Amino acid sequence: MSKSVQTIEKTSKSIKGLLLFSAAAWHRMVDAGRAPEDGEIADVIDALNSPGALTIEDVQLYASDDFRAWLKDRRNSRQIPHRLEAVGYVPVRNEHQADGRWKVCGKNVVVYAKRQLTLRDRIAQAKALCEGRRPSSP
């Protein structure tokens, strides 16, 4: 094997090693920046069997005592939509109400649906939740 081919192979191995290290380091940095609430919300959604739509009240039912207190604390109310979005749920606006909320069990609430669903399916899941039918995981 020629010297130039050996040099190219060594360089290639070095670059691959650097890329693997860089990817691992990047993942560590991303993981370090995640809020602990993301994991707790993900656990609750798993306990709910990943419904097509849910409310914060649904999350509170299955949350641990500490996490439920965090959810009920008004200081965290602006963080909750971001935490739900981080685990794949986005708010669904009710176009028939000025405030965009849905009537679920007699309360006006924000309904969150899976981001992967089409807008039409998100609205269908929200309507099913309002009608008392627990939306299934599509």
CA distance 138 to 136: 6
Give the 3-state secondary structure percentages of the chain, helix then strand then coil, rounded to 5.
55, 10, 30
- Sequence spans of domains, the chain: 1-33, 36-130
**pTM to 2 decimal places:** 0.72
Q: What is the mean pLDDT of the chain?
A: 82
List the pLDDT tens digit at each of the 138 positions of the chain.
566 655 556 666 665 665 555 666 655 655 555 666 778 899 999 999 999 999 999 999 999 999 999 999 999 999 999 999 999 999 999 999 999 999 998 899 999 999 999 999 999 999 999 988 665 555
* Predicted local confidence at residue 4, as pLDDT: 61
* Predicted local confidence at residue 40, as pLDDT: 87
* Predicted local confidence at residue 30, as pLDDT: 56
* Predicted local confidence at residue 27, as pLDDT: 58
User: What is the per-residue burial (b if ≥16 Cβ within 10 Å, else e) of 90-117?
Assistant: ebbbbeeeeeebbebeeeebbbbbbeeb
Q: Residue 52 in contact with residue 125, Cβ under 8 Å?
A: yes
